[in-house]
Amino acid sequence: MGIEQYIAPKFAITHKGNTKHQMRILSLSYMDYEKDNVDMLSLTLAPHSKLPSFGDRIELLLGRSALNFMGAFYVSSIKENYLQHYTIEATSIDYTKEFKIIKSRSFESLSYAQILQSIARENNLKAKLDFKYQDSITHLEQNDESDSALCKRLADELDCSFSVKNDTLIFLDRDKSFDRRTYTINARDTLSLEIEYFAQKHYKSVELTYQDESGNTRNVKVGKGVPIYRMSREAKDDNHALQMATTRLQALNAKKTKGHLSAIGRVLFAGGYLSLTKDSTTSTHIITQVTHHLNSQSWNMNVEFESER
């Protein structure tokens, strides 16, 4: 399993930028997601620890020979088990701000990148964007929808990974051509490994039906041949409909495998590529979730992944 199993784990927590605090940490869990969920840090504190306040910023560093910055979080929940311990939960999004507030507005003649940058600025976030349609001009309605829900809707339509990490709104193309960090693991070095294989659907084309502003039914199609996947969506014009149909066809013919492994803990992030070697064959997957469990004695991780696009 490598030399890392023989080096005791290290971790450090900063509270509001200060490494000196009175939180006596017994153990921690860190859940890191590629998309769809907010990252979560859970701290177990000894009784009589000094507790943080809601919305306080906490940073996590961990490693073995050296400490690595893992992420920034905001306290969202405090639970007490009387005379036993406290559990502090913190999320990568500060929910005391406006990201979850319902809004209604229009974005006129802006690119997807400009819209996302605007949302990031409103929520005091930086933006990291890299996806196929980011420069496409669009008209977008946000009706009784939070910024968080709007970003998730766009990510689904455009087949992107959307997340908020370290005060940054991240929107990345899930296509394999995107440059992601690669982590290498040999199956022999895992504590357990499970892989589920799916029959590939092999849709040749997608046909999308929508109603235009005049109430007329319109159809667009991407690809050629059968089988055809038919869908209905809201779209403002043919270009918008074609974008959704193209990303849907790509998504339909992906996800050939899904897997889960557990291993000795190391610095590894969701959203990167997993280069997995098993029985002299190497396959590449997107890491969709990593859960780290850490105390003063041990550091283990669970990794979920799915097949590369």
Q: Are residues 210 and 270 in the same domain?
A: no
pLDDT over 90 percentage in the chain: 71
pLDDT at 213 over 60: yes
pLDDT at 5 over 70: no
The CATH number that applies at residue 148 is 3.55.50.30
Q: Which pLDDT value is given to residue 24? A: 94
The reply to whether 240 falls in a domain is yes
The reply to whether 60 falls in a domain is yes
Q: Are residues 186 and 267 in the same domain?
A: yes
pLDDT at 198 over 90: no
Q: Are residues 113 and 153 in the same domain?
A: yes
Q: DSSP E strands: which ranges in the chain?
A: 10-15, 25-33, 40-45, 57-63, 67-81, 85-91, 102-111, 126-130, 137-146, 160-165, 168-173, 182-186, 192-197, 205-211, 217-223, 228-232, 257-264, 273-278, 281-295, 299-307
CB 203 within 8 A of CB 249: yes
Q: Which pLDDT value is given to residue 4? A: 59
Residue range of the domain that includes 237: 205-253
Instruction: Identify the CA nearest to 305 among candidates 261, 263, 264, 268.
Output: 261
The reply to whether 5 falls in a domain is no
The reply to whether 3 falls in a domain is no
Angle (nearest 5°) at CA 160 between 41 and 150? 75
- 127 or 308, greater pLDDT: 127
pLDDT at 3 over 60: no
Q: Which pLDDT value is given to residue 309? A: 56
Q: Do you find a cis peptide bond into 227, omega within 30 degrees of 0?
A: yes
Q: Are residues 155 and 83 in the same domain?
A: no
The reply to whether 96 falls in a domain is no
Q: Are residues 67 and 119 in the same domain?
A: no
**pLDDT tens readout for residues 9-66:** 889 999 999 888 989 999 999 999 998 889 999 999 999 999 999 999 999 999 988 9
Confidence of residue 2 (pLDDT cuts 50, 70, 90): low
Tokens of 31: 């859940």
**pLDDT tens readout for residues 253-307:** 876 899 999 999 999 999 999 999 999 999 999 999 999 999 888 999 999 999 8
The reply to whether 298 falls in a domain is yes
Q: Which pLDDT value is given to residue 177? A: 55
The reply to whether 1 falls in a domain is no
Q: Which pLDDT value is given to residue 180? A: 80
Q: Would you say the pTM of this structure is higher than 0.85? A: no
Least confident of 51-65, 165-179, 186-200, 262-276: 165-179
Please identify, among 72, 91, 110, the residue that sits at the C-terminal boundary of a domain.
Answer: 91
The reply to whether 66 falls in a domain is yes
Q: Are residues 225 and 291 in the same domain?
A: no
Q: Are residues 114 and 23 in the same domain?
A: no
- 87 or 175, greater pLDDT: 87
Q: Which pLDDT value is given to residue 124? A: 92
Q: Which pLDDT value is given to residue 251? A: 82
Please identify, among 217, 238, 253, the residue that sits at the C-terminal boundary of a domain.
Answer: 253
Q: How many domains does the chain have?
A: 4
Section 73-83 average pLDDT: 96
Confidence of residue 195 (pLDDT cuts 50, 70, 90): very high
How many angstroms separate the CA atoms of 44 and 74, rounded? Answer: 16
Q: Which pLDDT value is given to residue 52? A: 96
Instruction: Identify the CA nearest to 186 among candidates 279, 266, 260.
Output: 279
Q: Are residues 24 and 53 in the same domain?
A: yes
Q: Are residues 190 and 295 in the same domain?
A: yes
Q: Are residues 21 and 75 in the same domain?
A: yes
Amino acid at 218: R
The CATH number that applies at residue 262 is 2.40.30.150
What's phi and psi for 252, nearest 5 deg? -60, -35
Task: Name 81's bridge partners.
Answer: 85
Q: Are residues 134 and 41 in the same domain?
A: no
pLDDT at 308 over 70: no
Q: Are residues 195 and 209 in the same domain?
A: no
Q: Output the average pLDDT for the chain.
A: 91
pLDDT at 1 over 90: no
